[in-house]
Amino acid sequence: MKREIFGIFLLLNVATFNEVFAQHDNLINSSAEWVRTPARNAATDAGDIVIYNPAGTVKLSDGFHINIGNQSLFRKPTHSWDLGMGEGEKTATQSGNDAVLPNFYATYKSGSWALFTGIFIAGGGATANYPSGSINTDLVGLQALMAAQGAYGATKDQYLKASSMYLTSTMGMAYSLSDKISMAIAGRYIDAKNTTKAGVTLTSSPLGLEDAPLELNTEDKATGFGGVISMMYEASPRFRTTLRYETAVDLNFETTQVKDDLGVTTNGAKSHRDLPAVLAWGASYAASTSICLYGDVNYYFQKNANWGEYSNGTTIENYSELAGDAVSLNLAATFNITPKLMWSTGGGYTDFKYSDKEGYFTKTGAFETIPTDNWNINTGITIKTCKTANVTLGYMHTFYSSEDVKAQLATPLDVTVHTKNSLDALAIGFDLTF
């Protein structure tokens, strides 16, 4: 009976809780310097350019460069709904914060060559935690009560907790073809892990049955390889432009059952959630000896990725087609206040090009993370503590559009979900040269 009652839990599939900052899966906030200055594609002033401007590593000084940082994320996605069952409107809000989102980058520069490596989080890096449940667990509870045919009268102890971590390592080299042109090539290895824990308890049985707690606890893992090509053109000492392409990474997750009271998962089952390809452009202009301006455009080819299929009863579509591509635009400026203090500010906009938003929101995790268009504002400082060390402090606030989305999973009930979201990030980083 559990399999019949909880067929809806099939929607609790892998890799659904990846949206942390901007687009669906690919993270853009991968260093404290980015939180301080949210346009890094043409930067050459710190070791985090290993991932933002690999070709620019040849502009670092000769020797070793180490960049270490961490971000703490304070996310507050909230959604409200009313199933029309006489319980009134319910509201679910993310509980807890994500204190650790680290990065490590290293470069050795000598003459026209640079060798670099790094370890960072390319996707995920956060936990969706709803200890009192969400609209998805509420729908599961309703489905369970209907399937129980009067054996139980209510549900309790709903919960949903899922995490995602795309741990990524990179290694590559850059070469200066001339004073104006440099190139870089790198490889990436991703070790991804997603966990899902969800449950609901059937209670208030008119037949005197004991409460029936049912739990789903799965772990999904995948590995994959990708490549990066980068080019930088320095038209003059004051102006440069860059182009970077990251290939898609094939991620085919394998499910491991930790516990499945619901009978809806298969140990060893496979499910795709590829990391999409990215095309990134950047430019920087030194307006004066103390002011530098930056601009970035990042385009995410999500529609070409395999994210699994969705059936609306008449047609079958890929979730990535429903999501569409995404693009982020960012501008920033740095100001050298003194020889030892630099202040930065900037902001950006991310556009989700959904082809069918309501269809995509049938994927568990969408209402819990609320991937919608958003604006970010950033600021921070870099302090030169000594000749070979800089400390960076950054702050970012992100405003998400508040939207009403029809919950197709509630059909035939007519349920509209009201969403709102915000994010704050605090970052600290250390940039060292030897």
pLDDT single digits (tens) 335-348: 999 999 999 999 99
Instruction: Tell me, rounded to whole angstroms, the distance of Cα 237 from its chain centroid.
Output: 35
pLDDT single digits (tens) 63-78: 999 999 999 999 999 9
Torsion of CA 386, 380, 183, 248, to 10 degrees: 130
Torsion of CA 232, 432, 51, 110, to 10 degrees: 50
Q: Where in the chain are the domains?
A: 2-433
- Which residues are CB-contacts of 354 (< 8 A; sequence separation ≥ 6)? 322, 323, 324, 360
- Which residues are CB-contacts of 149 (< 8 A; sequence separation ≥ 6)? none
Strand partners, 221: 193, 254
Q: What is the pLDDT of residue 171?
A: 98
Q: Measuring CA to CA, which residue among 350, 166, 134 is closest to residue 249?
A: 166
Residue 252 CB neighbour total at 10 angstroms: 15
**Cα gap 185→42, rounded to integer Å:** 16
Q: What is the pLDDT of residue 48?
A: 98
Q: Are strands 291-301 and 252-260 parallel, antiparallel or unpaired?
A: unpaired
For 337, left (φ over 0), alpha (ψ -120 to 50), or beta?
Answer: alpha
Percent over 90 (pLDDT), the chain: 83
Strand partners, 181: 233
For 319, left (φ over 0), alpha (ψ -120 to 50), or beta?
Answer: alpha
pLDDT at residue 8 greater than cutoff 60: no
pLDDT at residue 9 greater than cutoff 50: no
Q: What is the pLDDT of residue 82?
A: 95
pLDDT at residue 16 greater than cutoff 70: no
* CA distances (Å), origin 286, targets 35, 54, 106, 289, 329: 20, 20, 26, 7, 20
Q: What is the pLDDT of residue 23?
A: 63
**Cα gap 89→143, rounded to integer Å:** 18
Q: What is the pLDDT of residue 13?
A: 43
Q: State the pLDDT confidence band at 309, using cuts at 50, 70 and 90.
A: confident
Q: What is the pLDDT of residue 347?
A: 97
**Cα gap 5→139, rounded to integer Å:** 11
- Average pLDDT over the chain reads 92
- Using the structure block, give the residue that is written with the tokens 């809780």: 17
Q: State the pLDDT confidence band at 411, using cuts at 50, 70 and 90.
A: confident
Q: State the pLDDT confidence band at 394, using cuts at 50, 70 and 90.
A: very high
pLDDT single digits (tens) 37-58: 999 999 999 999 999 999 999 9
- Contact call for residues 253 and 272 (beta carbons, < 8 A): yes
Provide mean pLDDT across the span 240-265: 92
Provide mean pLDDT across the span 148-168: 93
First CA to last CA distance, the chain: 65
Provide mean pLDDT across the span 171-191: 98
Q: What distance separates the 2 farthest-apart alpha carbons in the chain?
A: 83
pLDDT at residue 35 greater than cutoff 60: yes
Instruction: Tell me, rounded to whole angstroms, the distance of Cα 297 from its chain centroid.
Output: 17
Which of 21-30, 105-114, 146-155, 414-423 has the weakest average pLDDT? Answer: 21-30
* Fold designation for 2-433: Porin (2.40.160)
Percent over 70 (pLDDT), the chain: 95
CA neighbours within 13 Å on the CB side: how many for 340? 6
How does DSSP assign 232-281, residue by residue? Answer: EEEEETTEEEEEEEE--B--EEEEEEEEESS----TT-EEE-PBPEEEEE
Provide mean pLDDT across the span 253-273: 89
Q: What is the pLDDT of residue 125?
A: 86
pLDDT at residue 3 greater than cutoff 70: no
Q: What is the pLDDT of residue 7?
A: 45
